[in-house]
Amino acid sequence: MFIRQLKSKTKKPHHINPIKNSFGVVSLLIIFLLLFTNHANAEISTKKPIFVVAKVNNQAITNIDLANRYNLVLKISKIKFSNPQEKQIVLNQILQKMIDEELQIKEASTLEAVLDAKNLTNP
């Protein structure tokens, strides 16, 4: 009888499930990014008119898409331009890359390509 009472009064150690814990962190991060991205896009759209800079297979690439990719490239590469021509060259290269990506996506969907985990490599 005494042993049974002792067992019932002892607390079991609290086990933290790392999957549930990381899911909560990831969920909060996604929510934060969505809120930040929507806020940033709202600011851009109120300042500049939105227009299509390229159309690939009925998919539009807008000036906002191009500006977002351009800003990402600048943040990652930390490029400094000495003149406006250099900026225009980079913008043209980014636009061409975005067009190529759309064509690759279309080709992959036409071929019904599936990406397996074994096909991915870490650089």
If one compares 56 and 8, the residue with the highest pLDDT of the two is 56
Cα-based distances in Å from 38 to 34, 41, 66: 6, 5, 16
Distance of alpha carbon 18 from alpha carbon 90, whole angstroms = 43
Split at pLDDT 50, 70, 90, the class of 27 is: low
Percentage of the chain beyond pLDDT 90 is 40
If one compares 50 and 15, the residue with the highest pLDDT of the two is 50
pTM exceeds 0.85, yes or no: no
Q: Which residues contact 106 (CB under 8 A, 6 or more apart)?
A: 56, 57, 59
Split at pLDDT 50, 70, 90, the class of 79 is: confident
For residue 45, the Cα-to-chain-centroid distance in whole angstroms is 19
Domain residues of the chain, as ranges?
17-47, 50-113
Read off φ and ψ for residue 16, nearest 5 degrees. -95, 125
Distance of alpha carbon 98 from alpha carbon 87, whole angstroms = 17
pLDDT of residue 71: 93
SS3 60: strand
Is the predicted pLDDT of residue 61 greater than 50, yes or no?
yes
